[in-house]
Amino acid sequence: LRILLLEGKNLKMGRLHTPDPFIIFRTADDQKARSKTIKKTTRPEWNQELRVFVDSLENPIGFKVHDARSLSKHAVIGHGSFTINHLADAMARDMWLPAILDGRSSGYIHVKVQFLKAFKKKILRQTRY
């Protein structure tokens, strides 16, 4: 799965300081991809491509937005997930995903996701009945 992490907006850690956000994406089988850290902003622009292997279209991809600057080690700004079962056609999907913490919005991340052609046939064969 190709994840183009474009940007974030309104990413906040309360009123104490402006965060240094980074994101970790995680698959159901615990494979991870980490973004670079963007310094002192609530509107980071990553424009970074990340890739993870997925073995099923049924499992969602989770993410956590962290603050590298927090007093506690990499405090979580927010988290969320998205489904990938609608990506079987290999077209890229553009999505704004909410980051949630304690039941409240803590901002949004903007991604484009797409299956890589090298893996598409194998995954589709495994999910057919």
pLDDT of 122 strictly over 90: no
pLDDT of 128 strictly over 70: no
CB neighbour list of residue 19: distance below 8 Å, 6 or more residues apart: 11, 12, 13, 40, 41, 42, 67, 68, 69, 70, 77
**What was the pLDDT predicted at 66?**
94
Specify whether the CB–CB gap between 115 and 87 falls below 8 A: yes
User: Chain-wide mean pLDDT for the chain?
Assistant: 86
54/59 Cα distance (integer angstroms): 8
Q: What is the pLDDT of residues 49-96, one digit of tens each?
A: 999 988 777 899 999 999 998 767 668 999 999 998 887 666 789 999
* Mean pLDDT, residues 104-126 taken together: 75
**What was the pLDDT predicted at 14?**
67
Confidence band for 129, pLDDT divided at 50, 70 and 90: very low
1/19 Cα distance (integer angstroms): 28
pLDDT of 119 strictly over 60: no
